[in-house]
């Protein structure tokens, strides 16, 4: 242990002595080689130091783009904003329609006539019920003393037709702007591709004008052109997904209306049989 302690103290003392010793001057050969390398290094690093400050982002691509490419980009951004506006409007419309339909169907199944009359005009199933009630009142006003089965069948057919007319009107209102979503989803990639082709044509025209095929000449135009394609996909992909989502919702809404129509006709038929 004593020997190890002495060796440690000796090593520590030697290290302190080396640390306090002045640095030896470099040899002339090394200084000359360093002097000859330094300007070359500075010259090599200088261009990169200048270009590192420059930035070529999306904003710069849009500002430097051709007028046609810029118009394509603006149109695609407008299509994207319209798609998201339709999404929020449809979400609100479908949620409101579902809530009102559920409330009216519950009132119908509980036989609350006052609540049915109050909520009829605010829901699709309520408007179907109103059309069926109008046909039923007309039948009660014009029927004779004896009601035959054929008359009841014709009444149920008229009620079904009236309900179908009302149902088509409600589905048309819910399906509004769905064609716009389908159009954006189908055409936006091709519109962006048109902007891309136009931008690449301008890039090749620049090569012919400047008589150089340098990447620095071609790259900005190609980047602007590819930005148009990216915007086309950015507008088309959400439009297709939103269209498919609301197409499924409309199919479910159709099922709800068809089921209510069947339930309504069955209730009227049962009442007619009991009255006979």
Per-residue HEC secondary structure of 93-150 comes to HHHHHHHHHHHHHHHHHHCCHHHHHHHHHHCHHHHHHHHHHHHHHHHHHHCCCCCCHH
Report the predicted TM-score, pTM, of the whole model to 2 decimal places: 0.70
Q: What is the dihedral of CA 161, 162, 164, 167, to 10 degrees?
A: 180
Helix and strand counts by DSSP (H, E) for the chain: 9, 0
pLDDT in tens, 16-71: 443 444 444 444 443 444 444 444 444 444 443 444 445 666 777 777 777 888 89
- pLDDT of the residue at 16: 42
pLDDT in tens, 130-188: 998 888 888 888 776 677 788 888 888 999 999 999 999 999 999 989 999 999 999 99
pLDDT class for 4, splitting at 50, 70, 90? very low
- pLDDT of the residue at 111: 81
pLDDT class for 193, splitting at 50, 70, 90? very high
User: Which residues 6+ apart lie within 8 Å of 174 measured at CB?
Assistant: 93, 94, 97, 250, 253
pLDDT in tens, 233-269: 999 999 999 999 999 999 999 999 999 999 999 888 8
More confident residue, 164 or 8: 164
């Amino acid at each position: 242990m004593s020997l190890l302690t002495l060796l440690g103290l000796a090593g520590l003392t030697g290290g302190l002595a080396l640390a306090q010793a002045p640095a030896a001057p470099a040899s002339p050969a090394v200084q000359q080689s360093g002097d000859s390398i330094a300007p070359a290094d500075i010259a090599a690093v200088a261009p990169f130091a200048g270009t590192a400050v420059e930035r070529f982002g999306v904003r710069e691509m849009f500002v430097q783009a051709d007028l046609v490419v810029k118009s394509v980009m603006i149109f695609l951004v407008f299509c994207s904003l319209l798609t998201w506006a339709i999404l929020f409007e449809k979400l609100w419309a479908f949620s409101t329609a579902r809530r009102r339909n559920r409330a009216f169907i519950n009132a119908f199944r509980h036989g609350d006539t006052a609540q049915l009359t109050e909520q009829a005009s605010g829901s699709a199933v309520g408007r179907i019920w109103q059309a069926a009630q109008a046909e039923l009142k007309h039948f009660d006003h014009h029927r004779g003393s004896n009601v035959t089965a054929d008359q009841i069948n014709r009444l149920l057919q008229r009620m079904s037709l009236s309900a179908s007319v009302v149902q088509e009107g409600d589905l048309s209102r819910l399906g509004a702007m769905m064609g716009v979503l389908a159009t954006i989803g189908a055409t936006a990639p091709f519109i962006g591709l048109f902007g891309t082709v136009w931008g690449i044509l301008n890039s090749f025209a620049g090569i012919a004008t400047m008589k150089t095929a340098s990447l620095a000449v071609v790259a900005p135009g190609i980047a602007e052109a590819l930005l148009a394609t990216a915007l086309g996909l950015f507008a088309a992909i959400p439009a297709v997904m939103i269209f498919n989502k609301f197409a499924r919702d409309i199919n479910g809404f159709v099922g709800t209306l068809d089921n209510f129509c069947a339930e309504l006709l069955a209730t009227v038929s049962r009442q007619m049989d009991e009255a006979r």
